[in-house]
Amino acid sequence: MSSDRGNGSFRCIGKSETDRCGTDHDPCQFYYDRREVRSRSLIEGIQDSKQKNLTSKKSSEHEGEDDWMQVIQTKDGRDHYWMYVKDGRTLYTLQGIVGEITEEPESEQKFSRFFNLDGYIRELVEAKIVDGYRLVDEQDFKEVIVELTCKEEQYDAVWESRSKIEEDLEEFLGVTGNGYFLEDDYGPEAIEFVLYVLDPSYIVEPVVEYFKEQYDVTQIRMGQAKVHYGRRLTGLYPAGKNFNRKN
């Protein structure tokens, strides 16, 4: 995954100690309230994560398998995950339930440039697979399209805020372990945002509320493609109203 992961900070609790590779690191633990993000607005979830110094370490472009790896296991009908994200020589370990901000502890480890960090990440993933988890790959993500039909002033406002919108959507998906922002498309008839999502049911209400509240856009449709880059979409919002992509 890409670029912006290292810009956030994490609040650390604990004393510095030496890990098995012989480098000093802080065994940071992050605790935040368990909430169902689905029942709250997207912007509230983002604001909460930033207030608690929880920043998404995922991004919208893949750089390589070892930069970001996620494993999931279904328990009691919910997908529990572990995520390992590499930012330079720092490894962030995230744990939770897809679609929720959880209170499980996370960790941040810093390694020397001589340590085989890629190999270590693969070892962590392999250990989780032995425990019954499976590796998330590209085919696990559903392609969800958010379509906005705007008046001229709304279009301009969204266009001017395009970087912030991308960051907000990326943040929202990242802190819930539920996918990532792929791209946007500003066409003559509509604006489209393409999201790759593990469980779309957790994003529909927050995303719709976000664009209504922040940009006063009410003509919104969300749909899921049957195949990646598909034009025919199964309607998520309004539910059951299938439609074709405009762009």
CATH number of the domain encompassing residue 224: 3.30.70
Task: Decide which of 181 and 24 is more confident.
Answer: 181
The predicted model scores a pTM of: 0.74
Query: Which range of residues forms the domain containing residue 188?
Result: 139-244
Do residue 202 and residue 170 come from a single domain? yes
Do residue 234 and residue 130 come from a single domain? no
Residue 107: pLDDT over 60: yes
Count structural domains, the chain: 2
The reported pLDDT for the residue numbered 247 is: 87
**Nearest partner of 223 among 246, 209, 172, judged by Cα:** 246
Do residue 117 and residue 157 come from a single domain? no
CA–CA distance, 18 with 118 (Å, rounded to integer): 19
Which of 54-58, 183-187, 240-244 has the lowest average pLDDT? Answer: 54-58
Do residue 115 and residue 183 come from a single domain? no
Do residue 195 and residue 103 come from a single domain? no
Q: What amino acid occupies position 170?
A: E
Confidence label for 244 from pLDDT (cuts 50, 70 and 90): very high
Query: Percent of the chain at pLDDT above 70?
Result: 72
The reported pLDDT for the residue numbered 202 is: 95
Task: Decide which of 137 and 47 is more confident.
Answer: 137
The reported pLDDT for the residue numbered 191 is: 97
| Residue keyed to tokens 């690191």 | 25
pLDDT mean across residues, the chain: 79
Do residue 124 and residue 67 come from a single domain? yes
